[in-house]
Amino acid sequence: DVKVTQSSRYLVKRTGEKVFLECVQDMDHENMFWYRQDPGLGLRLIYFSYDVKMKEKGDIPEGYSVSREKKERFSLILESASTNQTSMYLCASRLEGASTEAFFGQGTRLTVV
């Protein structure tokens, strides 16, 4: 059974903290993605990676960074958490190719107080 696993379902952090969200996939996929999901805005791409140590900015990269040291792991980092980063964060992975299916983790609901 294919799987994308996010390290936490729920997180509460304080403003200014450095936050790490971890994502691991067991399907040997080249591409991995981080999205945030907000009501009325759908899924917005933060960063993606198409290979180890490679990363590209998505639509809303400000305030975030990423790390991909191994093919199976893609980490999202909030350098200094702010209240406007309170959201649901979704990780996904897929094989290269326009028609391939993306597999999603269950999401991390992050609250910044």
- Contact residues toward other proteins (CB under 8 A) are 4, 31, 33, 35, 40-43, 45, 48, 50, 56-58, 90, 92, 94, 96-102, 104-107
Distance CA 87, CA 102 (A): 21
Nearer to other proteins, 68 or 94 (CB): 94
Q: Minimum distance from CB of 80 to other proteins (Å)?
A: 26
Closest approach of other proteins to the CB of residue 101, in Å: 5
Q: What is the DSSP string of 13-40?
A: E-TT--EEEEEEESS--SEEEEEEEETT
What is the closest distance, in whole angstroms, from the C-beta atom of residue 104 to other proteins in the complex? 4
Q: What angle do CA 49, 105, 107 make, to 5 degrees?
A: 105
